[in-house]
Structure 1
Amino acid sequence: MSKVPGGSGVDGEAGAVRRVSRVVLLDPDDRILLLHGHEPARPAETWWFTPGGGLEGTETREQAALRELAEETGITEVTLGPVLWKRRCAFPFDGRRWEQDEWYYLARTDRTATDTTGHTDLERRSVSGLRWWTSEELSVAHETVYPTRLAELLRTLLDEGPPSAPVLLETERV
């Protein structure tokens, strides 16, 4: 599963695969920024996820990553790095079924203050906050996090650096 708020990004008609750019944003202490989301109609169903969303119009994946990061977190002072991971996922959210092709970009920032005034109406209804996580905190978390192996993926990234080519993650279907 993944988060849907953040840009329409649906290619063509209903049922099309939504192209999504996500950001693995790290601060100077190697903490990762995650958003806390929930199903709008069921706020008790919560999960954590990376900033990002669907491509709009003719924008590139990189442009979408930076736009979504700015809209969802208020953070624009970033260095966008390589694509770390790619995955397909499918899940129900806000009354419809989503099929997504997600690319996860590495980004670094010195800024840790966030601003959510750029959230869309759907994001205001489905995102309850943001938090910087250490790798250690993420590895012992009992909460749902997407992608599901994020703690392991982050630890590998911090220990070994970015992969030489994007890692294809397993497809997640909910």
Structure 2
Amino acid sequence: MTEEHGAGSDPGTTSLGPDWSVGPDGVRHRRAARVILLDDVGRVLLVRGHDSDQPERSWWFTVGGGIDPGESEVDAALRELREEAGIALAPDDLVGPVVTRAGIFEFVAETCRQDEVFFLARVPAGHEPSRAGWTEIERNVLDELRWLSTAELRAQPLEFFPTALADVVDSLVDGWDGTVRHLGTEHDDGDEHERGTSGVRGAGDIRCPEPPDPEEIGA
């Protein structure tokens, strides 16, 4: 992530990183694997981050990131969990994917689309995550790791993604029913959506009946 991508520059260069490619629509795109990590009192481990171009805005999201070439979704999820939170789990510790979605957002002045699969995992309460594995780039845009209950998540003032996250966590606390929940396409733009009375921001977007293309996300 050393080269900035601006208007009129080579579309093959970007400050996002090499795992982002330009799609036929000109939008940066990547596949990603994420982990809904719960402890045994029902809290979810979340990351708070911000856009370097919008330092005044921050939001919560699950641990995870891009899938490297030749890497499986499970391997990517485990690697991201180890790198971002210092938590080492085995493939059998992951359940799912339990959720899929596509997120469209602006980041470092670029429009991006990320097709995501979410796995479920559990650890005992009291497990303290570590930021020791954060890269310098991550330290510039990531702010903290925190365990939050869904009540705390809904009550706090910041955005969170997916916008259905609190509802999803509530549905998984007692176990996964084996049904993959497709959230469709969400526009993760703080200017376009507002929180509803349920505490889930942009609830209209998550009722999209069309799941992402299974071939595209590898689900």
1:164 and 2:174 are equivalent in the alignment:
no
1:106 and 2:120 are equivalent in the alignment:
yes
Greater length-normalized contact order (CA 8 Å, ≥ 6 residues apart): 1
1:148 and 2:163 are equivalent in the alignment:
yes
Report the structure number with the largest CA radius of gyration.
2
Query: Greater strand share, 1 or 2?
Result: 1
Aligned to 1:74: 86
Instruction: Decide whether the 8 Å contact of 1:7 with 1:56 is kept in 2.
Output: no
Aligned to 1:33: 45
SS of aligned partner of 1:50:
strand
Deviation at 1:20, TM superposition (A): 0.4
Deviation at 1:77, TM superposition (A): 3.7
SS of aligned partner of 2:153:
helix
What is the TM-score with the length of structure 1 in the denominator?
0.87
Deviation at 1:149, TM superposition (A): 1.3
Deviation at 1:12, TM superposition (A): 6.6
SS of aligned partner of 1:163:
coil
Deviation at 1:53, TM superposition (A): 0.3
Q: Work out the CA distance in 1 between the residues paired with 2:144 and 2:102.
A: 25
What is the TM-score with the length of structure 2 in the denominator?
0.70
Q: Work out the CA distance in 2 between the residues paired with 1:36 and 1:26.
A: 16
Q: Deviations over 1:21-64 (max 9, x none)?
A: 00000112221000010111322101000000000120000000
* Aligned pairs (5 A) from 1:6-155: 8-11=18-21, 15=27, 17-77=29-89, 79-110=93-124, 112-155=127-170
User: Which 10-residue stretch deviates more, 87-96 or 108-117?
Assistant: 108-117
Deviation at 1:16, TM superposition (A): 5.2
User: For residue 15 of structure 1, what is the amino acid of its counterpart?
Assistant: V
CA RMSD of aligned residues (A): 2.1
Q: Work out the CA distance in 2 between the residues paired with 1:60 and 1:98.
A: 22
Aligned to 2:197: none
Aligned to 1:3: none
Structure 2 unmatched runs, 5+: 1-15, 190-219
Structure 1 unmatched runs, 5+: 1-5
Instruction: Decide whether the 8 Å contact of 2:29 with 2:113 is kept in 1.
Output: yes
Q: Work out the CA distance in 2 between the residues paired with 1:86 and 1:131.
A: 23
Q: Work out the CA distance in 1 between the residues paired with 2:37 and 2:148.
A: 11
User: For residue 43 of structure 1, what is the amino acid of its counterpart?
Assistant: P
Instruction: Decide whether the 8 Å contact of 2:28 with 2:111 is kept in 1.
Output: no
User: For residue 26 of structure 1, what is the amino acid of its counterpart?
Assistant: L
Identity in percent: 36
Q: Work out the CA distance in 1 between the residues paired with 2:84 and 2:17.
A: 10
